[in-house]
Amino acid sequence: MPETSESDERNQREVWAREVVARLHDDHAPLTDGVPADYIPELADVDPDTFAISVAMVDGRRVGAGAGTHPFTIQSISKLLMYGLALETHGREAVMRRVGVAPTGDSFNAILLDEDDNRAPNPMVNAGAMAITDLVVGDSIGARVDVVRSLYERYLGRLPELDHHVWASEQATGNRNRAIAYLMLSRGIIEDRVEETLDLYFAQCSVLVTCDDLAMIGATLANHGVHPTTGEQVVAPEVVRDMLSVALTCGMYDYAGEWVFTVGIPAKSGVGGGILGILPGVGGLATFSPRLDQFGNSVRGVKVFEEFSAQFGLHLFDPGRPWRPSR
């Protein structure tokens, strides 16, 4: 029966994915290049050897290797989810007035604005992310933190915890972000509750997730915004399209061009060591390993994505087989 063969094929693919994920984990565990982020003092304390690879399919199946349930701070991966929230709450036009969609080719914390249009360059660099955070509705920091936590709740299927040490550490040392935010205030890009918005931005970055969580977020985005296990429509499909577009072009910061060239999967990284990749219609792939390269991307994570993409032919423009007219 065709149904059986389809599920046989899915089972077969799951077995294959399990083998590949286990092999990629073993192959890359000895790789110790890079260093964990230390510009946020609390982040320097993580165990640099912790390593996980997780896959979640759109039908809710999971495959993984390593420390898939180890918690770490989501950091910049939050920017992707927050961008979706802003688009849903305020609409594309209002968001585009403050934040563009062009990659910068500069570091994630560059003090850089889109001067022509007087807006932040894109939502995946700190400037754009803080302009997006500024759009979170609420009349107190507590109310706005609740909005952010309930966004995460829908993606994670549970209310998330914040790492209060990392949050406080960034509040205490985040002066570069402060500089960017005040520059945006001076240009009228954000409103004048700057310290509160910075605080909220640091809070959204300090949310604790696991690699398994990230894979399921990826599967939700891959599944047109419907969470594979709760069934909830977490985000509208047309918003997912916008989220994945900027993830593809800007998600890996100034490595974005090479990333699209070699991996070809929309993705977002964070200095906590996580990378979230989305395979539309298929599932989410996530890695966690805290040692970072000069761009702020996880070293092992980038390698695993490269090989996973090649192994399964997942590049967006994978040649596949051409259609030929019959003669």
Show the site string, 13-52: x = touches ligand GLN by CB under 6 A, - = not: ----------------------------------------
In one-letter notation, the amino acid at residue 111 is I
- Out of 136, 162, 252, 271, point to the residue binding ligand GLN (CB under 6 A): 271
Show the site string, 114-153: x = touches ligand GLN by CB under 6 A, - = not: ------------x---------------------------
Give the chain's radius of gyration (CA, Å).
Answer: 19
Joined together, the tokens standing for residue 236 give: 């509208």
Task: Establish if 204 lies at the interface with ligand GLN (CB under 6 A).
Answer: no
What is the nearest approach in angstroms of ligand GLN to the Cβ of residue 39? 7
Residue with smaller CB distance to ligand GLN, 220 or 298: 298
Residue nearest to ligand GLN (CB): 76
Task: Establish if 223 lies at the interface with ligand GLN (CB under 6 A).
Answer: no
CB 218 within 8 A of CB 286: yes
Task: Establish if 276 lies at the interface with ligand GLN (CB under 6 A).
Answer: no
Told to judge if 76 belongs to the known catalytic residues of this protein, a careful annotator would answer yes
Bridge pairing between strands 62-66 and 208-209: unpaired
Told to judge if 79 belongs to the known catalytic residues of this protein, a careful annotator would answer yes
CB-count exposure of residue 76 (10 Å: 0-12, 13-18, 19+): buried
Told to judge if 302 belongs to the known catalytic residues of this protein, a careful annotator would answer no
Told to judge if 253 belongs to the known catalytic residues of this protein, a careful annotator would answer yes
What is the nearest approach in angstroms of ligand GLN to the Cβ of residue 123? 13
Task: Establish if 270 lies at the interface with ligand GLN (CB under 6 A).
Answer: yes
Told to judge if 99 belongs to the known catalytic residues of this protein, a careful annotator would answer no
Residue with smaller CB distance to ligand GLN, 265 or 292: 292
Residues of the shown chain interacting with ligand GLN in the complex, contacts defined by CB under 6 A: 75-76, 108-109, 126, 170, 177, 205, 270-271, 296
Which positions are annotated as active-site residues? 76, 79, 201, 253, 271
